Structure 1
């Protein structure tokens, strides 16, 4: 799943839906006012992207209700989606839908989903467009230290600092290789499903892969995994840079 956290209000649900779509590459507006055929309407979340010159628009209705969504909501939202010319509409419900609502969405461009199901729909796009790129942009420097070739400034170091360098490699190499396996280049040569979480089972199959913190190996949400990995990885990178800055020209 993208995130194990559950929104605590309708405002939070709107924000999180918009956040996921934006991180997938859409231009997003939350609580967008627009004109429809029957007058002005407010859309909880409106998102669009342009693919090869063609606009693709998504509208989301976020229902933080304590009961299942009835059929009447589906009919009203379907009219809005048609009036503004959106390609698809999502109704996201925290409690699911009545049977009549599900029937009313048949053969339409509406998708009725729970918060978890909404994440499932966009998980692969989010992983490719956001997660892997954050790993690359912010931790690629650490991955270079996991390579077998030492940096150019290694020869200038004192024996004591060389020992420190190798201790840091021993401490962080497994984590760096794990992050590299989750980055964009590892997925470039084939289409693979998003790796399941937690990563501990995958970690057990990796030779010499000790030292990775438990809270990273046992995380069940990819957003939380990303946040923890960036904090840990950037702290590790800072340790290497202390050495680098002593000897780099």
Structure 2
């Protein structure tokens, strides 16, 4: 950013850079279409994670005074008109009491860069957790729904199941084939709950492991669970609408996830 640019423009870029560091795709001074017309937005921030897509619209006030209520009401109308999931207003000199009251019970957040950086990482993690848990629950329901099919259709689907089917000592039969995968899905939801309540470290169970992997922080946990859920979704899709011949479920796992698990499992003395 050119240091000779106006201070307010540098502030926009600083806000956009902060959001980008959190994983958002940002645009500065984008024209956004609303129901009632076009709006010039200081910064737009978009993110898609764990099946949830979000649009945040941002207004940056590099002012020497506190932001008044009137600006909040105007901004709130823009946020509603474009259908944004959230509106953020950044101001380093604060907000008048009326402005703060006007933002209550809305999808607006009034903040400064310092406060936002401190508070938002955990909030984004919570958003991702919600999306992942919803995906896991939906997937569990899909697998369970197979039992509602006719015997012929159920046998057809089960014949296409290539996911992990438990350990050698487990009993044979349809009822046991998917039990291992469903158990892993349940354990992933439990791990997310433990992390959400700050009960670190948490245990993550890979689909083909008999012992858990210890995870100590959000980034790693969210990555491995999202990758595992995506693999399980592909296993289900292969049962319902097979697109190619797959002999082992590991073929449906991303290369990045395979490499990570290989690295984790490698003996420390290698």
Q: TM-score range by the shorter chain?
A: 0.3 to 0.5
Greater relative contact order (CA < 8 Å, ≥ 6 in sequence): 1
TM-score, normalisation: structure 2: 0.43
TM-score, normalisation: structure 1: 0.46
